[in-house]
Structure 1
């Protein structure tokens, strides 16, 4: 296979790896990527990730480094920090965390002691591993208590959250998760946290781009600390940020470095700065609102196809589908849809009777397809493909999956993806 430019050095040095990169680029170009935590970054973000900033070691913070030769790096990091503060309207930002999980670990290191009680949404209900779930280090080193959602509505029961918080008196309360299709009521969480004497941490990794674009309420007036990744809806590199009120700045910075990490990944810091610059543009606001509009249109189309959606729909970028009524396990459906060129992930649903590695649901989202320019007018077609794919998964009709894949590829060819050369 001929490698698309601009990777000539990679092709010359390591043709095998270059071929794999080319294959992945072709796969991303030809398929409908619907995992809600994935997206396409711009060519500018990709270029920033591959700059000579990769060559620098920069332990410490701007103006307070343990290495010399940081004159330019300090300016890069300050630029990213200033842009984060401007985009999200926060008093303090740290752009050094390597990823979302280390960012959350820094929160624990800054504000809790091993054995303290922490509270977050249960993983099977849509929470995250690092919110005190048992198999995570956070559930091993801290005492995790979990809240969930109502069986009848699929929505967070704030009466239960308050009762649990007042009973358990956690040091930290996390709000946010990985499979929450509805608007997060940060004000309600903040009121409960104040009453329980807890620090409120808003983990907005999934919805950071929607917040930046004004398509989801901001946690800034309510949360003590905000944790986020910089990819997903924000369309930046694989990194993370911690943001907070000024009073928590020193504790967070100390927890990130030297508490958990050594030198920051400067090329990632640069790409974060680029993504935040893009997020400050009017076009990003249009994108964020289009993500939500597409998700709502897709949810309506799926309901019309007879699918069961957790909470009955969505307010944001993701949809959680319960396939119990279709008599198809989520894993079987996800793998079949993958063969049909529709990339989703199998996922537990609230009160799922099946095991996490073989759950009842699939999780889908609209960030990537929105970044390619698909609109609400395409969502009925997408829902139809999903319906055909799930039906084919149940019947074992591989010919139907092949037919859907060809239709998907044809549509994708008309909507080139940002950052791709094919």
Structure 2
């Protein structure tokens, strides 16, 4: 690099400097590799064994899914659609079997006619929809971030990259639901080609049928971005988007579905099959990690066996956690509506220093949460929002139930309301976590 050129980094310079110093101190590349392994092991011990992980996007995979993620097939290339004549490479006989099993299992889980397994990240599903179903300059509508909207459907994500004009889906500040009257007025004025319903802060169902009826007046379509709710939908614990008027559903294979980190896309209309699959391949996915596909198929089989019970307990735990925190004087969004219909619990922690400060304090007690924008925040409050987001997926899969939600709420309240030092509570957190080591709702159990 030219010494006169100023280095521009988006990452934390202090952490990058730490890494450079570690690497420079290592006398051999083998020891450099060992430093990577050491960091992985430190995370496995702390986050994997000593913390209460309440991050809504996280879920532990089963031992079988983890083994498949390191399977031999992961070094094999499988470019193209399923079938020997459609592959670029020979030698894909068993890969075709793996991928066909995955597709058919996903269709069975979500009760759909079509599914694709090749999205190596869930946001690629958003890009697929916008590339296949819109043209640059088209109007779409999506949720704003203070109401749970995600960048994947906004100007700084795939929708913006596609060159779409983005209008806000109006939300009710108190009910945390779509304001149908305002939506109907705006939608009829701008006539969006697509309305994408997706929220990273998601507590209650959407009025999908009513919204679909409005946009059908000009041929508009509803797309459901179920990144967070996908498992709940498959397990019958949330609304059925495709049955209520959405034409495509995309989402994360991780999160509530509890499979490998990647994406899922499903639909019923045969007219959408070619535009969607032609966009996925060859435009957005070529070699698509067949080990991940095998792991996804295994997770889908687990879901068929255990998903209904698993998802029901996730929601029951979230509702119990919300109530327990509310009873201890912590403001919880949606309290007047039963707190949540999903895996998420959202707190208003302005009075305790805001989302960033609270998440940092709780992490010192080994309770992992995340800061979150909530209604009333501005987009520019992103770094220091008023809210805190929690999810019950991981603790549920480890076997915790409503009684443990009371214990967790008590620990959180002691840090926030009682202002106890988080380090003092860490041993109690570790003790609780040590009692729940087994992954449930899977065949390995």
With normalisation by structure 1, the TM-score equals 0.91
- Distance (Å, rounded) in 2 between the aligned partners of 1:265 and 1:193: 37
Task: Output one character per residue of 1:103-156: Cα deviation in whole Å (capped at 9) or x when no partner.
Answer: 11011110111111111111221111121x222242252111111421232222
**Does the 8 Å contact 1:77/1:95 carry over to 2?**
yes
Task: Output one character per residue of 1:358-383: Cα deviation in whole Å (capped at 9) or x when no partner.
Answer: 10111011001101100001111111
- Distance (Å, rounded) in 2 between the aligned partners of 1:249 and 1:177: 25
Q: 1:26 and 2:53 equivalent?
A: no
Runs of 4+ in structure 1 deviating by more than 6 angstroms, as ranges, are: none
Most deviating of 138-147 and 119-128: 138-147
- Distance (Å, rounded) in 2 between the aligned partners of 1:91 and 1:254: 17
Task: Output one character per residue of 1:170-226: Cα deviation in whole Å (capped at 9) or x when no partner.
Answer: 111111210011123332332233234212111111011111111112212121111
Most deviating of 149-158 and 380-389: 149-158
- Distance (Å, rounded) in 1 between the aligned partners of 2:232 and 2:32: 40
- Distance (Å, rounded) in 2 between the aligned partners of 1:135 and 1:348: 16
Q: CA RMSD in A?
A: 1.8
**Does the 8 Å contact 1:149/1:350 carry over to 2?**
no
Q: 1:227 aligns with which of 250, 272, 275?
A: 250
- Distance (Å, rounded) in 2 between the aligned partners of 1:57 and 1:25: 30
- Distance (Å, rounded) in 1 between the aligned partners of 2:288 and 2:406: 44
Unaligned runs of 5+ in 2: 1-29, 441-445
User: Partner of 1:347 in structure 2?
Assistant: 372
- Distance (Å, rounded) in 2 between the aligned partners of 1:40 and 1:292: 17
Task: Output one character per residue of 1:160-179: Cα deviation in whole Å (capped at 9) or x when no partner.
Answer: 22222111111111112100
- Distance (Å, rounded) in 2 between the aligned partners of 1:189 and 1:417: 43
**Does the 8 Å contact 2:103/2:117 carry over to 1?**
yes
Q: 1:297 aligns with which of 299, 306, 320?
A: 320
Q: 1:251 and 2:271 equivalent?
A: no
From the superposition, tell whether residues 174 and 380 of structure 1 become closer, same or farther in structure 2 (CA, over 3 Å).
Answer: same
- Distance (Å, rounded) in 1 between the aligned partners of 2:32 and 2:291: 21
- Distance (Å, rounded) in 2 between the aligned partners of 1:117 and 1:209: 30
**Does the 8 Å contact 1:171/1:199 carry over to 2?**
yes
- Secondary structure of the residue aligned to 1:242 is strand
Q: 1:402 aligns with which of 423, 431, 434?
A: 423
- Secondary structure of the residue aligned to 1:296 is helix
Unaligned runs of 5+ in 1: 1-10
**Does the 8 Å contact 1:125/1:148 carry over to 2?**
no
Q: 1:161 and 2:183 equivalent?
A: yes
Q: 2:437 aligns with which of 394, 416, 419?
A: 416
User: Partner of 2:27 in structure 1?
Assistant: none
User: Partner of 2:149 in structure 1?
Assistant: 127
Q: 2:103 aligns with which of 78, 81, 95?
A: 81
- Secondary structure of the residue aligned to 2:346 is strand
- Distance (Å, rounded) in 1 between the aligned partners of 2:122 and 2:109: 19
- Distance (Å, rounded) in 2 between the aligned partners of 1:342 and 1:188: 40
Q: 1:361 and 2:362 equivalent?
A: no
- Distance (Å, rounded) in 2 between the aligned partners of 1:94 and 1:137: 19
**Does the 8 Å contact 1:62/1:78 carry over to 2?**
yes
User: Partner of 2:227 in structure 1?
Assistant: 205
- Secondary structure of the residue aligned to 2:246 is coil
Task: Output one character per residue of 1:70-103: Cα deviation in whole Å (capped at 9) or x when no partner.
Answer: 1111111100000000010001001101111111
**Does the 8 Å contact 1:176/1:184 carry over to 2?**
no
- Secondary structure of the residue aligned to 2:178 is coil
Q: 1:15 aligns with which of 11, 34, 37?
A: 34
From the superposition, tell whether residues 417 and 348 of structure 1 become closer, same or farther in structure 2 (CA, over 3 Å).
Answer: farther
With normalisation by structure 2, the TM-score equals 0.87
Q: 2:402 aligns with which of 354, 376, 384?
A: 376
- Distance (Å, rounded) in 2 between the aligned partners of 1:389 and 1:256: 47
Q: 1:116 and 2:138 equivalent?
A: yes
